[in-house]
Amino acid sequence: MKTYHHIDSLRETLNRERAAGKRIGFVPTMGNLHDAHLELVKLARETNDIVVCSIFVNGLQFGLNEDWDKYPRTLMEDSQKLQGVGCDYLFNPDDNEMYPNGLDTQSRVICPTMTDVLCGASRPGHFEGVTTVVTKLFNIVQPHEAVFGIKDFQQLAVIRRMVEDLCMGIQITAAPIHREIDGLAMSSRNGFITEEERPKVSQLNKSLNWVKDHIEAGRRDFGDLGDEARQQIEDAGFRVDYFSVCNSKTLAPAADDDRNITILGAMFTAGARLIDNVSTNLTEGE
């Protein structure tokens, strides 16, 4: 695996790969890699000749009082992990390389739908930072395919919409959520969970699946189901950010006749904000 820190040198290499007829897969990350990230790289490896991974902690998507400065930087360990799963090229730019004119005057990419609800409601400006940096990375790498995890379901939906709206011609592939044995979704922020909290944090996933089971059993009182799930999480000792039953494509509140439904939740531990989701595709008989 070769590491690049500058856009021009990476572009030069990837232009040669494209000229040779190679299909390029791309996995953008912020580093501090765990098994779930590595599964994205493995998935990209299955359908592409060349796999590029980026590690860039994007300040543009962190809001005030968020954990940009605390976000773990573990480049050496990350590089070893990526090499072990067959990544060909690692792109690791610094802030000046990605934002040469500074964050304040950076041109922005704005998706006007699905970005002011759920995570977007509690993190104003977050998705503007995501769509801007992902667009820049797509322009730099110019991949045929990009792989994202379903754990960040809203991010995945927004990026899919952005790619469609801007006619980018990039295949967006969704990778299943990689979980711990107790159901906790793997996340870089799991390292901030205290030992006392750790046995209880799976409650978020349990409540999501509890709502899913009730919907599949025929309940359509989505608001009441959400309220009951919030209470379960609060009873376990955590503060709920949101818990919503949504249309899987639009992320609008689910209607009685929706067949593709995603239940999304976020909660706060003492030191972390955890997100998770589960989806169901109802048949006509349900």
- Pairing relationship of beta strands 89-91 and 145-149 according to DSSP bridges: unpaired
Q: What is the dihedral of CA 118, 120, 122, 126, to 10 degrees?
A: 150
What residues are paired with 275 via a beta bridge? 266
Radius of gyration from C-alpha coordinates of the chain: 19
Q: CA–CA separation, 41 vs 145, rounded Å?
A: 12
| DSSP conformation letters of 58-115 | -GGG--TTSSTTTS---HHHHHHHHHHTT--EEE---HHHH-TT-STT-------SSS
Q: Beta-carbon neighbour count of residue 108 at 10 Å?
A: 11
Which of 5, 6, 34, 37 is labelled catalytic? Answer: 37
Give SS3 for 169: coil
Q: Respond yes or no: is residue 37 known to be catalytic.
A: yes
Q: CA–CA separation, 252 vs 194, rounded Å?
A: 34
Q: Tell me which residue has tokens 């980018």.
A: 168
Which token pair is 196?
Answer: 């006392």
* Burial of residue 90 (number of CB atoms within 10 Å: 0-12, 13-18, 19+): buried
Residues acting as catalytic residues:
37
